Amino acid sequence: MAQAKFAQIKQFILSRIETGEWQENDRVPSENQLTELFVCSRMTARRALTELVASGVLERTQGVGTFVAGLKSQSSLLVIRNIADEIKDRGHGYSVTPLELKQIDASTAVANALGLEVGNPVFYSVLVHCEQGLPLQVEERFVNPKLVPKYLEQDFRLQTPHEYLSAVAPLTEARHTVEAIMATELLQQRLAIEATEPCLQILRRTWSRQGVVSFARLVHPGSKFKLTSALVNE
């Protein structure tokens, strides 16, 4: 068999959508119709449809039918990768310098982000991630001490905070905000950039089963760092 039958059916449907023959919200053949068209069992036709639904190409409603899904083009996905992996994947040298590692009192913003009270103790770390020796990211991180009591005892030259946290408190969710900012003087020093250089800031909150684990502020020089998307559709 050149290609699995369910894959042929998927191709058949996808090509018709790609050419525009079947438009958004058009009805696609039912499982039984596909069964006749391709001379296969209902389970095989069903598999093709199910997989296309899973990938967002189709939508179905029990008792009604299966339809071409609305354009996903309206939103596409950007990937935020682990900085160390990204640098290594480029074949460049990666190094990290820990600048701070201590306990502080939660400010209002940090307390809100972590779901704690203002003034509660939180663990705080600052690291500079470098590519070929040049700063590419300043990672400022606030950690919930209740969930990660041994955070301050770690050596983040050996294992990034992200790796450590993942091991200690398996994360179940993460939320990000990306924006453009101007660096403060301190950040300018740490990133070795001019006052005129804009920066890309990623705010990242991570959850485990027990609650908010950490709140991180990742700042990149705009001239050196780009977020790139993988793909959409299909």
| Residue 6 and residue 48 in contact, taking contact as beta carbons nearer than 8 Å | yes
Degrees to nearest 5, angle at CA 119 with 118 and 125: 105
What is the nearest approach in angstroms of its own copies to the Cβ of residue 64? 20
Binding mask 13-32 for DNA (x = CB under 7 A): -----------------xxx
Between CA 16 and CA 13 the distance in angstroms is 5
Count the site residues for DNA by CB under 7 A. 25
Q: Which stretch binds its own copies (CB under 8 A): 3-11, 25-33, 126-134, 222-230?
A: 222-230
Near DNA by CB under 7 A: residue from 19, 21, 23, 63: 63
Q: Which stretch binds DNA (CB under 7 A): 5-13, 120-128, 177-185, 195-203?
A: 5-13
What is the nearest approach in angstroms of DNA to the Cβ of residue 49? 6
Structure tokens, 182: 């101007």
Between CA 209 and CA 128 the distance in angstroms is 29
Q: Which among DNA, its own copies, none contacts residue 109 (Cβ within 5 to 8 A by kind)?
A: none
Task: Examine residue 37 and tell whether it contacts DNA (CB under 7 A).
Answer: no
The CA-atom distances, in angstroms, between 82 and each of 64, 158, 163, 197, 205 are: 43, 15, 10, 23, 14
Q: Which among its own copies, DNA, none contacts residue 25 (Cβ within 5 to 8 A by kind)?
A: none
Q: Which among DNA, its own copies, none contacts residue 6 (Cβ within 5 to 8 A by kind)?
A: DNA
Task: Examine residue 11 and tell whether it contacts DNA (CB under 7 A).
Answer: no
What is the nearest approach in angstroms of DNA to the Cβ of residue 47? 7
Task: Examine residue 44 and tell whether it contacts DNA (CB under 7 A).
Answer: yes
Task: Examine residue 196 and tell whether it contacts its own copies (CB under 8 A).
Answer: yes
Structure tokens, 54: 């899973």
Between CA 105 and CA 120 the distance in angstroms is 5
Of 40 and 87, the one with the shorter C-beta distance to DNA is 40
Near DNA by CB under 7 A: residue from 5, 72, 92, 146: 5
Q: What stretch of H or E contains 9?
A: helix 5-18
Residue 171, helix vs strand vs coil: strand
Q: Which stretch binds its own copies (CB under 8 A): 28-36, 103-111, 122-130, 191-199?
A: 191-199
Find, among 140, 168, 170, 134, the residue nearest to 153 by Cα: 168
Find, among 136, 154, 139, 141, the residue nearest to 93 by Cα: 136
